[in-house]
Amino acid sequence: MASNIKGFSKWTKEEKLKWIATTYFSDATEVVPLIKTYWNSDEDLQKLHDEFIENTITNFYLPFGVAPNFVINDRNYTLPMVIEESSVVAAASKSAKFWLERGGFKASVLDVEKIGQVHFIYKGDFKKLARFIDSIQNQFFSDTELLTQNMRKRGGGILKIELRDKTLALENYYQLHVTFDTKDSMGANFINTCLEQIAATLKEQVLVYTEFNEVERELAVVMSILSNYVPNCCVRASVSCAVADLASSEIANPEEFVAKFIQAVRIAEVEPFRAVTHNKGIMNGVDALVLATGNDFRAVEAGVHAYAARNGSYSSLSHAKVEDGIFTFWLDLPLALGTVGGLTSLHPMVKIALKLLGNPNAEDLMKIVAVAGLAQNFAALKSLTTTGIQQGHMKMHLKNILNQFKATDDERKNAVLHFEKNIVSHAAVVELLESLRK
């Protein structure tokens, strides 16, 4: 068992690694060199990665793949995708190709507002509070002027500071609900810095507001923080074509296909158990792009799922319809993304990913990410409502199983041939390898 340690963060990387290995592993002499094989031989590059977080002992690889043939608003893209799930990039590429031949994807940004809040407790007359907040509106803006200067130059900044009465939900609870435009940055640091200044102004001004009595002057700020719920920082992605044009080698009867496809979407709209998996499929595409471009996937995940439940029940993020013989499939996603700041200017692979996308601004990245989600959802629903998901999924997973059993090149060739005609399963691969190895 590990004993409590002090000052761990100050130890060298070697010391930390040695401690981890000897405390938690019986085969420390093997574990340390294995972990070290993931260190980069370029010391500057390694140092850069070490310093992203505290207590780094090594790097953790995820594949960086690409999905070509995406046409978005008539422009061709190859999407960078960071993901470990074997079938995701293949599904994205397949979807891209399918829609490339049918006019491509369309995407548009609906709005770009982000939210931050100063939460506070106030025990007094609401009207008086409202007058007070009104009276210090200009002060809020002038006290944050220096902080917002650069953002304002880029056309963003603080848009609105509203007082919200939340006392029906929680006794004496109010908030300053602040709306921001952070342009091409995700804006978390900018928003939080502004909010802390707004809270400081609030605390300062409360002490000198002559209309307040002693109890009212005890107004207490609980916390100041951005919200990752961004329903007004939203993008729409869609595909559309005549039903008959959906015919392909895999879709013999487009009418039947569309009817079943729309049924599948309806099920996800009304059934939360299905909606969660349906949306997970969307997030396969979204997260892969969000990670590749150095954005905060936890923030995106939290915001997207809150949005999926905005009407009181968790529901599908995508929708489908047929009108006048035209099939339309679309998706609205709240996405707070950045293409400047944060990891975007630090991580060499993030820079490559952004370059691959033509160095998009935040709005263009929102469109691309939403399209990746829609493409993934289309591929999943197409498989689910036709062949079933496992056929494609297990074909992609075959390589992982072969790797697990350290298959030789000959065994791999044999396996690929064999599973062209047979169903892939873990047991079937083991059986084949055993028979080949006899």
Report the alpha-carbon distance of residue 373 to residue 279 in Å, rounded. 9
Q: Which of 114, 278, 347, 393 is catalytic?
A: 393
User: Known catalytic residue: 393?
Assistant: yes
Distance between CA atoms of residues 238 and 120, nearest Å: 41
Q: Please say whether the beta carbons of 96 and 78 come within 8 A.
A: no
CA 206 vs CA 23, 40, 219, 221: distances in Å? 54, 54, 7, 11
- Which residues contribute to the site for ligand MEV (CB under 6 A)? 85, 277-278, 280-281, 284, 380, 384, 389
Q: How far is residue 279's CA from residue 314's CA, in Å, rounded to a whole number?
A: 10
DSSP 105: B
Respond yes or no: is residue 85 known to be catalytic. yes
Q: Which of 143, 181, 287, 296 is catalytic?
A: 296
* CA gap 404, 427 in Å, rounded: 13
Task: Find the shortest distance in angstroms from Cβ 380 to ligand MEV.
Answer: 4
Nearer to ligand MEV, 177 or 280 (CB): 280
The SS3 of residue 155 is coil
Smaller CB separation from ligand MEV, 281 or 303: 281
Least Å distance, CB 284 to ligand MEV, is 5
The total number of residues shown for the chain amounts to 438
Annotated active-site residue 119? The verdict is no
Indicate the residue among 379 and 415 with the shorter CB distance to ligand MEV: 379
**Tokens 């595409």 appear where?**
285
Comparison of 23 and 387: residue with beta carbon closer to ligand MEV: 387
Interhelix angle for 88-100 vs 272-292, to 10°? 90
Catalytic site residue from 13, 16, 85, 128 = 85
Whichever of 261 and 327 has its CB closer to ligand MEV, that residue is: 261
Task: Write out the two tokens for 437.
Answer: 């190895």
Q: CB of 297: closest distance to ligand MEV in angstroms? A: 15
What is the number of the residue whose Cβ is closest to ligand MEV?
Answer: 281
What DSSP state is assigned to residue 4? P
The catalytic residue among 177, 280, 305, 351 is: 280
Q: How far is the CB of 85 from ligand MEV (least distance, A)?
A: 6
Cβ atoms of residues 130 and 196 within 8 Å: no
Least distance between ligand MEV and beta carbon 79 (Å): 17
For residue 196, give the H/E element and its range.
Answer: helix 188-208
174 or 261: whose CB is closer to ligand MEV?
261
Minimum Å gap between C-beta 277 and ligand MEV is 4
Catalytic residue positions? 85, 280, 296, 393
